[in-house]
Amino acid sequence: MIKRVYFDHNATTPPHENVVKGLGESLENWGNPSSIHWAGRKAKGELREARKSVARFLGVDPLELIFTSGGSEANNLAIQGALGFQRLLGRDEIVVSSVEHPSLLKTAEMMTQFGYRVHKIPVNREGELDLEFLLNRLSERTALVSVMWANNETGHVFPVQQVSEMAHNVGSLMHCDFVQGLGKTTLSLSSLNLDMASLSGHKFYALKGVGALYVKKGTNLSSHIFGGSQERGRRAGTENLLAIASLGRVCELQSSLALEIKKVEELRDYLEDRVFNAVSDVRVTGQKNLRIGNTSHLSFEGVDGESLLMNLDLKGIALSSGAACSSGSREPSPILLAMGFAPWEAQQTLRVSLGWSNTKDEVDYFVEELVKTVSRLRLIRATRTVLDGQV
């Protein structure tokens, strides 16, 4: 029997037991929340309670939340929905970090077709934003600044509060992709002083197919999906009640959040110590900087990351060599290239992202198989190098 170990929680998380237990109850509320009869009212009630639960967890008002199909839609809605109003004020420039999720970067780049200008904030090899670049690009023409709370590949946490203050000083809106922050920090969204923030349920032990956009009261936002009046007219379409309810149930676990965050961070530190003691020529990207506690981005000199990933998968260990949305691509990670990694360096990396159910025994098994796999791959590489030299 192959042991199964899941170390890819930044890609998606398994549904929490509270979610699984509540599926039957939610399935009974099969009515359309927009209907006024008894079936619709039951569904509407569950939708309302889920919204309240998520809002309490985030420290915001329930009416400041727009449920979406996920983080990508929330990012699209934030950019497309806010910029039209900003243009009326003579603001037509967007500032984003160069390591944002593709759903945000590609949406921002799409807006250049409509006359908007995009500035991308450089990020160094240790994951630090060039705040001087940001300061020099901010002006009365800045419509929106968007910087993620934490990077999905490397785990770096960005100074969102500081960036938000800089953006607001020139009258710009501030948006944050908070997808990797949900469930990995006890900070409330209100404490970050944001105008908008994107969320995704399946990164936080809820079902796939649900996300949310936090929109601070007073922020003008137009819908980019037209139809009915759901979500107070800001996102048309019948709500995915089953998925929304699952997110509400996970958010009811707020009392145990700090303990889970601490436990996972200690396990991540244990993993890195074990790897350093067992494997030579390995480094952690941005190890001395602030990172989310579950993520370790490792570089192995002389080892192809995809080969390492596939060999460990054969041993039942699920990991990633980058963002899940780019899985299968033979190209180096755009995130790492933007950070200044050479293409060959970017292809020597592995992302480990832990979750609430992971254990030390799983880490020990991972390190045991990692040592054997890295040694074998390096030996193969060395042998090929010798043979090539003899030809």
- 3-class secondary structure, 177: strand
- 3-class secondary structure, 29: coil
Placement of tokens 């029997």 in the chain: 1
Cβ pair 296, 352 in contact under 8 A = yes
- 3-class secondary structure, 200: strand
CA 196 to CA 219: how far, in whole Å? 8
**Please, what sign has the CA dihedral across residues 371, 374, 377, 382?**
negative
Please enumerate in sequence order all residues whose Cβ is within 8 A of that of 331, keeping only pairs 6 or more positions apart, or say none. none
Q: Which of 27, 135, 258, 325 is catalytic?
A: 325
Please enumerate in sequence order all residues whose Cβ is within 8 A of that of 237, keeping only pairs 6 or more positions apart, or say none. 225, 227, 228, 230
CA 198 to CA 379: how far, in whole Å? 45
The tokens of 169 are what? 């000083």
CA 84 to CA 287: how far, in whole Å? 40
CA 163 to CA 190: how far, in whole Å? 15
Q: DSSP per residue over 118-158, as a string?
A: EEEE-B-TT--B-HHHHHHH-STTEEEEE--SB-TTT-BBP
- 3-class secondary structure, 98: coil
Rounded to 10 deg, the angle between the 257-278 and 360-390 helix axes is 30
Q: Is 176 a catalytic residue?
A: no
User: Which residue type sits at 66?
Assistant: I
Q: Among all residues, which ones are annotated catalytic? A: 325
